[in-house]
Structure formats: C-alpha cells, structure tokens
Structure 1
C-alpha cells in the first residue's frame, strides 16, 4: 500500500504519505503549509489513534512561509497531540554554517531560526537525535563531485534519494540569509529573542490540547474556507526575495531565481527500496535545472528517462520551476499540483499544458489537484479530457493511492 494526500494548504504544500502493509503503516510528512491552514493538518493528525501519531520522517523543504509556518505551529503542539517524529530533515542555521564559503560568517533567517530552536527543543524532550538523521554529515545537500547522490533507508523498506539542493544553492542562501535577521533586529542563535518573537506572533501560536479552539471553522474533514488575497498578504513574499520577485504566468520556463526555492529539499522516493513498485519525485519548490542534473546522474545514458510513478510538481505549477528539458528526463504517469491558486494564481496554465505536451509515460497523463478553483477548473472539463487524452482529478482528501 502506498498513498499520498495533498492536504488543503492554500497556496502552499502539506504532503501526508503512508506506506506499508496491514497494521504496519509508516508515515512521512512533507511541509506544513502556511499558518492559517494548520488546523487541517492538526485535524488529520487527530484522526489517528493517539498511539499511532508517529512519523518516520518530517521534511521541511525550505524556509518559505507557505511550507514552514504550519510546522512551526505543529512542533509547538506536538506534546499536546502526542505526535512523534523519528527524523526531522531541515537545513537551518547550523547546517548552513557547515557549508564553507569565503566569508565564513554564521547567519540565519528569522523563521528558520525559530524552527531550529523548536527542533532542538524537540530533540531535548525526546532524549535522542532527530535533526537530519540519516543524511551524510547531518545536512541535506548534494556534492556534485561525489560519485552518488545521498540516500537514506527508512523503516518499512522505503528509500529516499536526495535530488536537491546542491552546495551552490545553499551557499547562495547563506550569503543572503542574515539580511532578514538584521531587519528583524535579531542576532543569529539568540534563542531568548526568538522565543519572544514566537510568543508575540499570533499567527504562529500553537492550538494546545485536543479540546483547544480552532483558528477557523472547518467545513469538512479536509476543507478550509478559501482565504482571500488580503488575508494572505503576509505570505505573499519569498522569505529571502532574490531574482526580482515571483515569476508571472508569462515568464520563461525554468527561470526561478528565488534563493529560498533554490535551497529546497527534493527527493526521489522508492517503495520498496530495492525493487520499487512506486517511485515518486517530491520536488518541493526546487529549481528545475538542479532536479534535471540529479536525475541525469541516476540514468545509464544521456538519452534515457527515469521511469517514475508520480511527480509532485515544484512550486505549485509555476512556469519558473518547470522546463521541457527536465520533463524530457522523466517518464511519468501521475502529476500532482498542490495549490488553491491564492496569492500567485498557481498553477500557471502554460506549465500544466507543458506537462501534457511533454508527457512521456505509458497511457494517459493524469493530473491531480487538491483544489477545484478558477486556476484548476480548466482541466476539469470531461470533454476536453477525452478529446486531448488526459485525465484530471480534484479530490478534497486522498490524492493518490497505489
């Protein structure tokens, strides 16, 4: 059994993955969405029996608000929920300081530093290491000079191979991450000031015990009221900026220049590890050129393609994070897009059409969206699907079960 849910995370990512057989179910959580969608993740956790709120791995791909804020809240809530994590993968201040550069100055971004404090607190409470356990040197990074890509075997015969970021992307992040701290008036590593910032931040507060009051009324098990752009104004900027802002729908393919996105953790998931029946590319918001270079290292020759079951499209279907060259390296059946279209109007129509026109897999391409909104309804037309030979799904809960 393998299933993946794209929880309703507005314009962000929150991926719930389960695999295994019978009562032996293993779980991976990738990102937590922006702060205001955290109740959906919390409710999903509460639907598990109290003794099964356990994750073999939590991955925080990068520091943008639409991926990290829900995890900041979850880690504060974890004791009340009885939620346990064996491994937490995240490149924070300590990991960036392991990446050598000419300046050699320690630095870190505000929310990244907050999360670092919370992961350290979780480790202390658990009495065991969890931070980047299973990764070489406890850092999620690719050395292009090494013979192979870093990989990690999880319990239940699941293997993850790192596809992003590479050293250059982390160096670029490191060189600019201190700017945000200076603007916030926080010194890197000042845990007391960071805790004070957390306490003062209303949108990052935990919800407390299971009888606590929800942020917003829930319309259904996996459904949240659709936020408007004014509500999300605080989420609209890339945490570190760079590259002239968010790419518009008419931007060139593959042109993402966001430093935060460039640092995104992306993995190839194989289940079972040695003889995979399921292969998923979980791309976070990674740059397509970085993904393409990593996929190429997994292939025996230049004209070969990596056969994968599914591809979680990077950066919610932005044209800036897709390229024909990347898609030409893949033979894929299922394409997953996580976004409500809020704030940035993702997915871009040109990006989805590129998926369809570049499809190299056997059978019809299958599009999986976690919202039916103005930005995704175009592909809900059954007549268009039949005429052009594709299928599209817009579930509120389970996205894909194999």
Structure 2
C-alpha cells in the first residue's frame, strides 16, 4: 500500500506518508503545522493509528523531516519531540522516530543567528513570567517589529528551529542520518525499508550561499521583515522526491517554483524544455501565487495536486488555481501535453479567505476546475486528515 495523509494543518503543512504492509505500514512524517495543530490533529491522529494497530506501542516513523524553519511547518514537530523527551522513562511516548532531517538556521548560515533573536527571547520570557501568549513559543510577541508581525514570525521560526535542534540532540536524532552530520542538500538520497526511495532535489549549495550572502546577524527586525517577501527562510526549503511502488510524490515545502524546476532538471527528473509527470505534487507554499507560474504547472504535472492552506494570507490563491486550470486545459500546444484537464485537487481544509473579496474568486476557480474535469476533494471537518491512496 501507498498513501499520503494530509492533516488539517490550518495555514501550514503536516503530512504522513505510509507504505508497505497494510496491517503495519512504514511511515514518514513531513512537517508539523503551526501552533495548535499538534494537539488538535497530529497527536489525535497518532492515537488513532496506534489504536488501529493494536495499541501496543508508539507510532514508529522511519523518518521525520521539517522542510524549513517557518512556524507553520515546525511547531508541531517541536511539540512532538518535546513530548517525546518528557515521556522518556515514564508514560508511553506518542511516537518513535528512527531518523530526522532538519537543516537548522544556524547550520545553514554557518552558526550565525540574528542578534534580534535575543529581543524575541526576552519578550517570550516576559510573557512566560506573566502568563502571556508568548510563553512556550506559540504566537510571536506583538509589536516586536512594528511590521505586522512578519519579522517576529521569522525570528520565532528561527528560535524554534534552534529548540528543535536541541530536542533532537536530547533524543539522539541529530546528524541528519544517513548523511553524516551534514546538511540535507540536493543530490543526496536515502533508501528506506520496503522499497521507499527518497531523492533530495533541493536546496542546492548555490541557494544556500545566496542566503548566507544576504544574511547579516545585525539586521534589525524591520530589515528582516523587508526580506520576508523574498523568501529568506524559503530559500532553504527542502524539496524531496519520494518513489515507491512505481509511484512518485514531490514534497516541496515552501520552495519557489523556478528553483524546483531548476533542481528537477539537475536531477534528471525534468527534461530540459519538457515536462515531468508525477502522481502527487504538494503545491509549494500553500498555493501562493508568488511561488508558481502557469509555466510551472505546464512542466511539472501530476495526477493529484495537494493544497495545504485554509485561506489565511489568501492561500490557496485563486490566481494559482487559475494557473493550474490554464495549464491543464490550454497549455498543451506549447508542451506537447494536449488538453488534459482530468486531475484531482485535494484541499487540506475548507478555505475561508482572510480578505472577503477573495472568497468569491476562490469559489469560482474551484468550480471552474471541476467544470473542466478536475475532481476536488476537501478534508472533512470531523476527520484529522484526508487520505490520497496511490496503491492498495
């Protein structure tokens, strides 16, 4: 069997890939969502899995990975690993993880973290002392940067990445096995039991060098906020191609579409000037139209497109859905693909746009996709996940 579970991670990502024997499959955990997702969906789903498999022990993950240090990807894994540490020698842990991939910000930048991180830590400590919302690293302290929380969110993610690194050390999961204490980068690969092959498509050394050139530890919070739209953390987002049972799943984190295509070409997956066909594409950055183009969807095609988002920050963007529809219905002449509208679009949540005017646009684009032949599936509000089955 081969299945991808897409959890209700609100505006973030949280995925469980399962393969092998149906009665006790192997699993990979990809990202953990923003604050609240662990307790609302991930931990309850782990309990469901354990109960279905006899309740004899924690859920075993062959691998867990965090694509990059953004709050909406890392927080659930920080909470999970913290609970695993707290459970050591006492109550049964919710999970057992055999390998963990994490490129911490300090590792990416050669040990250099932002000086402004100290301000966030001080604000969080003050919140903890007074019982405020900042305690525990959940919501970034308001007013840290005067820039609608963007720098605070980045700094919080960097701080949480550092805490996750410390948790992994405590659990003996540091080192990015089997890569020998080095970053998870383009060109690396790993074989897991029962035929799961993982190829790291990105990031590449050039993108990380670019981030290092641009990063200055003395940047002010306002300067950090100004860099958010150029993807300061997303430059380091892992992109992994999973292959098993003759199927392919591309896990993209928040990487940019142009970078993804460049990396796929370098890996020999995407022919120069041509297209590749996948079984599942996790659409990058929650369906933001800043990360993809119509050309991306023309060249990187899939049977199933997974969108992780709930409308916050207007993601999935109606414009992204329009690009996908145009690529499936009208781009064939340029790529030799023909008009192939039939596909499946999977939504991790019911979508309510943060800006009311976008809601109607989103609903019209979903209806247009369906009219063009796409099947649209949305996670049921009463379920922790929606499942994409690739092989029984």
Q: Scaled by the length of structure 2, what TM-score is found?
A: 0.72
Structure in which a larger fraction of residues adopt helix: 2
The range that moved more, 83-92 or 363-372, is 363-372
Once the 2 structures are TM-superposed, how far is the Cα of residue 134 of structure 1 from its aligned partner? 2.4
Tell me if structure 2 keeps the 8 A contact 1:286–1:321: yes
Tell me if structure 1 keeps the 8 A contact 2:305–2:345: yes
RMSD of aligned residue pairs (Cα, Å): 2.8
SS class of match (1:114): helix
How far apart, in 2, do the equivalents of 1:339 and 1:159 lie?
A: 27
Structure 1: stretches of 5+ with no match in the other structure: 99-104, 124-128, 143-148, 184-236, 247-256
SS class of match (2:68): coil
Tell me if structure 2 keeps the 8 A contact 1:266–1:283: yes
How far apart, in 2, do the equivalents of 1:139 and 1:286 lie?
A: 17
Where does residue 379 of structure 2 map in the other structure? 395
Where does residue 77 of structure 1 map in the other structure? 83
In the TM superposition, 1:2-401 aligns within 5 A as 2-39=2-39, 40-47=41-48, 48=50, 49-79=55-85, 80=87, 81-93=93-105, 95-96=107-108, 106-107=112-113, 109-123=158-172, 130-135=174-179, 138-142=182-186, 149-174=187-212, 176=215, 178-179=217-218, 241-243=225-227, 245-246=228-229, 257-272=230-245, 277-297=246-266, 298-299=268-269, 301-342=271-312, 344-359=313-328, 364-375=342-353, 378=362, 384-385=368-369, 387-396=371-380, 397-401=385-389
Once the 2 structures are TM-superposed, how far is the Cα of residue 97 of structure 1 from its aligned partner? 5.5
Instruction: Give CA-to-partner distance per residue, 1:262-312, whole Å, 9 cap, x none.
Output: 11111111013xxxx210111000111211111112247424322210100
SS class of match (1:358): helix
How far apart, in 1, do the equivalents of 2:185 and 2:25 lie?
A: 28
Tell me if structure 2 keeps the 8 A contact 1:380–1:392: no
SS class of match (1:333): strand
Q: Scaled by the length of structure 1, what TM-score is found?
A: 0.71
How far apart, in 2, do the equivalents of 1:117 and 1:22 lie?
A: 34
Tell me if structure 1 keeps the 8 A contact 2:346–2:376: yes
Over 3 Å counting, the alpha-carbon distance change for 1:398 and 1:30 in structure 2 is same
Tell me if structure 2 keeps the 8 A contact 1:93–1:116: no
Instruction: Give CA-to-partner distance per residue, 1:327-362, whole Å, 9 cap, x none.
Output: 2322311100011112x0201101111112113596
SS class of match (2:303): strand
Once the 2 structures are TM-superposed, how far is the Cα of residue 76 of structure 1 from its aligned partner? 0.5
How far apart, in 1, do the equivalents of 2:191 and 2:294 lie?
A: 31
Over 3 Å counting, the alpha-carbon distance change for 1:107 and 1:382 in structure 2 is closer
Once the 2 structures are TM-superposed, how far is the Cα of residue 381 of structure 1 from its aligned partner? 9.0
SS class of match (1:163): strand
Once the 2 structures are TM-superposed, how far is the Cα of residue 241 of structure 1 from its aligned partner? 4.0
How far apart, in 2, do the equivalents of 1:292 and 1:31 lie?
A: 22
Over 3 Å counting, the alpha-carbon distance change for 1:306 and 1:382 in structure 2 is closer
Tell me if structure 1 keeps the 8 A contact 2:8–2:379: no
Tell me if structure 2 keeps the 8 A contact 1:177–1:240: no
How far apart, in 2, do the equivalents of 1:140 and 1:166 lie?
A: 9
SS class of match (2:310): coil
Tell me if structure 2 keeps the 8 A contact 1:379–1:385: no
Structure 2: stretches of 5+ with no match in the other structure: 88-92, 115-157, 329-336, 354-358
SS class of match (2:11): coil
How far apart, in 1, do the equivalents of 2:224 and 2:168 lie?
A: 21
Over 3 Å counting, the alpha-carbon distance change for 1:117 and 1:165 in structure 2 is same
How far apart, in 1, do the equivalents of 2:270 and 2:287 lie?
A: 29
